[in-house]
Amino acid sequence: MRHGSIPGASGRVRPLTLLGEPVLHQPCAQVTDFGPGLARLVEDMFATMYAAQGVGLAANQVGEGLRVFVFDCEDDDDVRHVGHVVNPRLVEADGEVIRGPEGCLSLPGLEAGTPRFDHARVEGVDVNGEPVVIHGTGWFARCLQHECDHLEGRTYTERVSGWRRRRVLRQAARAPWARVTAG
């Protein structure tokens, strides 16, 4: 990605990986090749996220089992955060736990009240291997935690329990895109 360019402007929209597809449920591999293929992946991820009207997207959501995610998300103070992280580590998730509506591009049209911490800090590198540290609060903290979960092979449905979990899994099983059964 060129410095100063609009993220995703030169990317292509890729098909989304949906709940039940194996790549979405396995921990992603560390990125070791920082060549042009990685920059292309990040551009494609931005293009895909924007086309799907999302605020974050992990590489396994476009079928790539690599530790990369992109984001374009506001925090609770309406500050917009746009960027990407390669080989991210969620090093802090603290503060108040807030249950809020959470959806996912890999579960289109569904959401559930999901508990997340109100603050998160992620460390990693950019497409050039340069260190990045990202702090998020509120809605943006939720986004960072959500995308880090994806890279560990988890979806938000694993963060909900009881009737909320049963409801969202039943809805997923009945969805036109369903590849899983409620359980």
Q: Which residues are catalytic?
A: 147
Cα end-to-end span (Å), the chain = 41
Alpha-carbon distance values, 162 to 106, 119, 168, 183 (Å): 21, 25, 10, 12
Q: What are phi and psi of 152, to 5 degrees?
A: -95, 0
Q: How far is CA 48 from the centre of its chain?
A: 12
Report the distance separating Cα 62 and Cα 16, nearest Å: 5
Which of 31, 22, 18 is CA-nearest to residue 61?
Answer: 18
Enumerate the H helices of 52-161 as residue ranges: 138-151
Taken as a whole, the chain contains a residue count of 183
- Tokens at residue 125, please? 């590198």
